[in-house]
Amino acid sequence: MQILYGVVGEGMGHATRSRVVLEHLLSRGHEVRVEVSGKALSFLVGRFAGRPGIAFEEIHGLTLDYEGNAVDFARSVLSNLERAPAGLARNLEVYRKVAEEGFGPELVVSDFESWAYLYGKRRRIPVVSIDNMQIINRCRHDRSVTGGRSAAFRIAKAAVKAKLPGAYHYLVTSFFFPPVRKRRTTLVPPILRPEILAARREPGEHVVVYQRVLPAEELVPVLERLGRPFRVYGAGKEGSRGNVALRPFSETGFVEDLRTARAVIAGGGYSLMGEAVHLGVPMLAVPIEGQFEQELNARWLAALGYGRWAKTLDARTMTDFLDGAPDHERALADYPRRDGSVLAACVEELVRLAGEGAPPPDRLATAAMGTFERAAIPAEREEEDDSMDRSDGDEDAG
């Protein structure tokens, strides 16, 4: 089958996750054309260089600008507006190229990427969504992990709902598994790179820090005072200062440090969080301000006992977390670890159904970590959910 695959370039988690799905599709003999933006392009091109059956096209995608640990919305809007004319021209050229070069996709897969989604919808090609963001809209969350019906939750829910509406099916990757409240939705375990699946947990004494919360010149002195061995990634520097080692980027080195870490301190990004949970490494998450999806991840992490979350990072927060790490390790021992077979089986079922021209399935026959079950949703909650989702149309009437 010929498959069009879209990967959003903002954040490398989309690229590392897509790498795993693309490897599976190629192993099954499918021909894939990947449309990708940002830093994800060079990562994926490097991974699949020389591989038959796959080709890449660079598209323009939206980006976010940051000020410290917060999204700078004003600067993000301005920078995206400046790049919009050239970006639109580029995307139209790629659209023409795909349409005219004899590539006739029978299925579109989108990792939260709009270009491939719109291509599929315009040409009436089934679109399968594979990402973690859709859990905000397509699952039911207790108010303790959403902060009630806060404005942030409502805005994030509306934004995610508007991103890829009316897809053929939604595969939602997650390390937490709340009740599914929408048809055409299946929860799958974290989509982990092979290096993580092959890693074995051997906890040492060091703590991995991977973050953009504080500049290195502010963070390192705080870590020095704590006295524990820290291995810091993302500081943009190399070297050692007492108990603090500033590490250069290295995929192999990072996986080794993570699997042998006593704990990890990082932002609220889903990919690293899913890797830490799978390996059984307690985590302190400090979400980027203004990104509710990261805060939801962090709240679930704490609610399940796998770690803690905080809005800011300081010595007391880190000390309290590290002192409580043994409790988090005990909670992580009960986490239902899975390899990639659940995802692979779900993808193959959807490929088969789309190839047969079957209507979109409300739920898959493949065993998964969660799927739509009307009987599992109390009538009063279902009515409440429906009232919030009138704009979803008939595909999300449940």
pTM for this predicted structure:
0.87
* Cα 36 versus chain centre, distance: 16
Would you identify the CATH topology of the domain 2-193+340-396?
A: Rossmann fold (3.40.50)
pLDDT of residue 218: 84
User: Which strand ranges, in their side-by-side order, compose the sheet holding 2-7?
Assistant: 54-58, 31-36, 2-7, 107-111, 127-131, 169-173, 185-188, 370-371
- Kindly list the distances between the CA atom of residue 318 and the CA atoms of 2, 310, 323, 374, in Å, as whole numbers in the listed order: 49, 10, 9, 42
pLDDT of residue 260: 98
Interstrand relation of 185-188 and 370-371 (parallel, antiparallel or unpaired): antiparallel
pLDDT at 206 over 90: yes
CATH 3.40.50.2000 maps onto the chain at: 2-193+340-396, 198-332
Element (H, E) at 246: strand 244-247
pLDDT of residue 96: 62
Average pLDDT over all residues of the chain? 85
Q: How confident is the model at residue 14 (pLDDT cuts 50, 70, 90)?
A: confident
pLDDT of residue 214: 67
Element (H, E) at 36: strand 31-36
> Domain 198-332 is classified in which CATH homologous superfamily?
Glycogen Phosphorylase B; (3.40.50.2000)
pLDDT of residue 386: 43
pLDDT of residue 102: 73
Per-residue tokens: 171: 């595969």
